[in-house]
Chain A
Amino acid sequence: MNDLLPLIFLGLMALAMLIYVVLDGYDLGVGILLRRAEDAEKDRMIASIGPFWDANETWLVLGVGILLVAFPTAHGIILGGLYLPVTFMLIGLILRGVAFDFRVKAHANHKPLWNMAFYAGSLLAAFSQGFMLGIYILGFDYTVSHTIFSVFIGLSLVAGYALLGACWLLLKTEGKLFRRAVRWAYGSLWLTGLGIAAVSIATPLVSTRIFEKWFAFPQLFWLLPIPALTALCFFICERQLRKLSLGLHEKIWVPFACAISLFVLAFIGLGYSLFPYLVVDKLRYDQAASAPESLFIMLIGVAVTLPAILFYTAYSYRVFWGKATDLSYD
C-alpha cells in the first residue's frame, strides 16, 4: 500500500489537471473569443460560463494542491523554475475573475474596459499555461530555442482553449451567435490541429529519452492508437462543423466531445512521455512523495469527498443545462 500511495496521488493529480484543462479551458476559451463578438453577444457568452467558472478554476487549485501536498519537493522545483510565467498566469486569472463581476456592476461607461480586461486576462492565462508547459518539458531552461518552442506551445494552447470555448458556445447559444461560434470553432480547430502536430513532432526531437520511449518496438505498435484517434477526432469534428455551417442543426454536441477527446489524447501522450518523472529526467514521482502516513490521511479525505464533488458538479451542470439565458440574481 505504501508503495502504491504515490502512484495513486500521481493519478489523482493528473486527473485533476486534465479536468481543469478541459473545464477551465472552455471558459478561458470563451474569454479569448469575447473580443470578436458584438456587445449584446458578449453578455450572452459570459452568461454561458457564469455559474461554472469559479468551480472550474478550483480544479487548478486541487491539481497544484496535490502537487504541493503529495510531492512537496517537486512543487518547489517546478514552481520555482516557472516563477515569472506563473506570476503572469495568476495576474491573468485575477483580471479575468474580477472582470467577470466588475463588468456588470461598475458604471456602464467602464464596461468596455472590464470586457477588455476579461479578454486580456483569459488570453494571458491561457498563453502562460502553454508557455509553462513548454518550459517544463524542456527542464526550465530559458534559452532562445526553448523559449520559441514554449511560445509556440502557448499559442497552440490558446487555439485549443478557443476551440473548447467555441464548441461550448455551440451548446449554449442560438441564432447569429451560434453561427459565429461555428466559424470560430472551425478556425481554431485547424490552429489546434496544427499545434498538436507540431508539438508531437518537436517534443521527441528535443528529448532523446522521449524519442526512445515512443519510437521503439513493440511500444510503437501499442501507441499508434493515440495519434490515430487524434486524427479521427479531428476529422469528425471538422466534418460536423462544416455541416453545422451549412445550416444543419443537429448533433451540436459532437464538436465539443471531439475537442475534449483531442485534449484527453494529447494529455495521455504527454503523460506517457513524462512518466515516471515529475521533474523531467531529474526527479521521479516516488522520490518526491510525502510521508506515507500523510498521504494515507489525505487519501481518506479524497475517497469521501471526490465522489461528492463529482456528484454536485454534475448537479450544477444539470441545473444550468440547455441554452444560456441572461444572468440574473433574481
Chain B
Amino acid sequence: MQAYGFWVKVFALTFAMGVVSGITMSFQFGTNWPGFMETVGNIAGPLLAYEVLTAFFLEATFLGVMLFGRKRVSERMHTTATFLVAFGTTMSAVWILVLNSWMQTPVGFEMINGQAHATDWIAIIFNPSFPYRFTHMLLASGLTASFLIAGLSAYQYLRGERCAAALAALRTGIFVAATLIPIQIFVGDLHGLNTLEHQPAKVAAMEGVWETERGAPALAFAIPNEKERRNDYAIGIPKLASLILTHDANGEIKGLNEFEGKHPPVAPVFWAFRVMVGIGMLMLLVSWLAAWQSRKQGMLKPWLARGLVAMSFSGWIATLAGWYVTEIGRQPYLVTGVLLTKDAASATAAPIIGVSLGLYLMLYLVLIVSYISVLFYLARHAHKKYSPLTIAEAKI
C-alpha cells in the first residue's frame, strides 16, 4: 500500500496531462482537419463516439472514486473503481487504434459522392493492421510504465532508499520490462510484416530501400538523399533486411522508386524507425542485465542503476518514434488511398495556425519540464516517513 501511495500520485499527474492534451485533439479535428470528417466522418464518427461513450466517461468518473474515495467506499468498491479506470483506458486505446488502423489499412466501406460510407462494421473494426497495432501499442504502454517505475525506483535506490516498497517497485519494474521486451520485439516484427503486405512504401522508407532488390541489407546508418533518390554514407549488414522482412535472405523488397510521388518523406521515417528499434534493443540489454544482477546478487551495481534512471523516459521516446514511423510513413495520405493529407487541412491562414502551434509548443514544453521535475521531486520525498530495512533485508 505504501508503493500504491506514491505511484498513484504519479498516475494522477500523468492522467491529468493525458486528459487535457486529449481534449485538445477533439477540437483539432474541426479547427485543423475539417476535410477529414467531411470525407470519412461516417466511419471515423461512430468510432470516436464509442470511445467517448464507453471509455472517457468511465475512466473520468471512476478516477474520482479511485483517487479520493478510499475512505468513502468499501475496499471492494474501490477495487472495482480501479478496475473500471483500467478498463476504460484500455477501451480508449481499442477505439482510437481501430480508427488509426483503419486510416492505415481502410476496408469495409464504399465511396459515394466523395464520402466514405460503411458497408461492414466488423471488417472496419478488425481491419488488417488493427490486431498488430493494438498489441504493439499495449506492450509499448506496458514497457513505458515499467521503465518509468524501474527508473524512478532506481533513482530512489541510488539515493540510499532501502524501504520495502521502493525495492518492490524496482523489482516489479525490472522484471515486467524484461518479460515484455522480447514479446514486443517479436510482435514488432509481425507488425512490420503486416505493414510490408499492406503499406510497402512505408517499409521501403523505414529500410531506406530505393530500388526494388533481392537480398536487401539492413542499414545501421545512412543519410537518405531524397533529391538524388539514393542513400549517402550507407553502412549496412548484407541481406539482413530481406531476411527479417521476408524470412528469406534473398527475398525481394519493393523499393521507393516503385511508388514515386506516392511515398512518404524518407529521412524522418528512416531515422524514427532507427530510434525506436535502437531504444528497443537498449531496453532488452538493460532490463535483462538488471534482472540477472538482482537475481544473482540481490542488488544493482550503481552504474546499472544509473542506466535505469537514464532510461526512465525511454518508453515515451520509443513510442513517439514508433508513431512518427507509422504516421509519417502513411504520407502523403491521411487515409491510405482515400484522402490526401493536404486535402484534409484547414483553410485557416498560416500565421494563425503558426501562433496557435507556437503557444501549444511553449505550453507543452513548460508542462514537460514541470512534469519531469515533479516526478523526481515526488520520488525524493516518497518514502521519508517509512523506516529503512536492514542491509540483510534489503535485497531486491
Write the residues of chain A forming the contact surface with B, with a CB cutoff of 8 angstroms: 50-52, 54-55, 57-58, 60-62, 64-70, 72-73, 75-80, 82-84, 86-87, 90-91, 93-95, 97-98, 100-102, 105-107, 290-291, 293-294, 297-298, 301-302, 305-306, 309, 312-313, 316, 319-320, 327-330
Number of interface residues of B (CB under 8 A): 70
Contact B363 A70 (CB under 8 A): no
Contact B23 A90 (CB under 8 A): yes
Nearest first, the 7 closest Cβ-Cβ pairs linking A and B are A76-B34, A69-B45, A79-B30, A51-B64, A72-B37, A72-B41, A97-B20
Contact B26 A64 (CB under 8 A): yes
Q: Does B56 contact A (CB under 8 A)?
A: yes
Q: Does B46 contact A (CB under 8 A)?
A: yes
B60-104: CB near A (< 8 Å → 1, else 0) gives: 111111011111110000000000000000000000000000000
Given contacts A91-B360, A94-B23, A106-B374, 7 further A-B contacts (CB under 8 A): A69-B41, A80-B347, A84-B356, A97-B20, A98-B13, A294-B41, A301-B49
Given A65-B49, A97-B16, A107-B377, are A50 and B31 also a contact pair (CB < 8 Å)?
A: no
Contact B26 A65 (CB under 8 A): yes
Q: Does B42 contact A (CB under 8 A)?
A: yes
B4-12, B223-231, B264-272 - interface stretch: B4-12
A70 vs B347: C-alpha distance in the bound complex, in angstroms?
Answer: 22
A280 vs B38: C-alpha distance in the bound complex, in angstroms?
Answer: 19
Given A94-B21, A327-B68, are A75 and B29 also a contact pair (CB < 8 Å)?
A: yes
Contact B16 A61 (CB under 8 A): no
Residue numbers in B under 8 Å from A306 (CB-CB)? 53
Residue numbers in A under 8 Å from B117 (CB-CB)? 291, 293-294
Contact of A105 among B27, B65, B121, B378 (CB under 8 A): B378
A291 vs B68: C-alpha distance in the bound complex, in angstroms?
Answer: 42
Contact of B377 among A66, A87, A106, A320 (CB under 8 A): A106
Q: Count A-B pairs with CB separation below 8 Å.
A: 216
Q: Is the interface of A mostly helix, strand, loop or mixed?
A: helix
Contact B48 A319 (CB under 8 A): no
A297 vs B20: C-alpha distance in the bound complex, in angstroms?
Answer: 28
Residue numbers in B under 8 Å from A64 (CB-CB)? 26-27, 30
Residue numbers in A under 8 Å from B30 (CB-CB)? 64, 67-68, 75-76, 78-80
Residue numbers in A under 8 Å from B37 (CB-CB)? 68-69, 72, 75-76
Q: Which of B9, B34, B43 has the most CB of A within 10 A?
A: B34
Contact B44 A69 (CB under 8 A): yes
Residue numbers in A under 8 Å from B23 (CB-CB)? 57, 60-61, 90, 93-94
Contact of B53 among A68, A106, A293, A309 (CB under 8 A): A309
Residue numbers in B under 8 Å from A95 (CB-CB)? 363
Query: Nearest CB to that of A16 among chain B residues?
Result: B52
Residue numbers in A under 8 Å from B43 (CB-CB)? 294
Contact B19 A319 (CB under 8 A): no
Contact B54 A305 (CB under 8 A): yes
Give the Cβ gap from B80 to chain A, nearest Cβ, in Å: 11
Residue numbers in A under 8 Å from B355 (CB-CB)? 84, 87
Give the Cβ gap from B47 to chain A, nearest Cβ, in Å: 9
A96 vs B73: C-alpha distance in the bound complex, in angstroms?
Answer: 28
Contact A320 B64 (CB under 8 A): yes
Contact of B42 among A60, A100, A294 (CB under 8 A): A294
A127 vs B38: C-alpha distance in the bound complex, in angstroms?
Answer: 30
Contact B367 A98 (CB under 8 A): yes
Contact of B72 among A78, A91, A107, A319 (CB under 8 A): A319
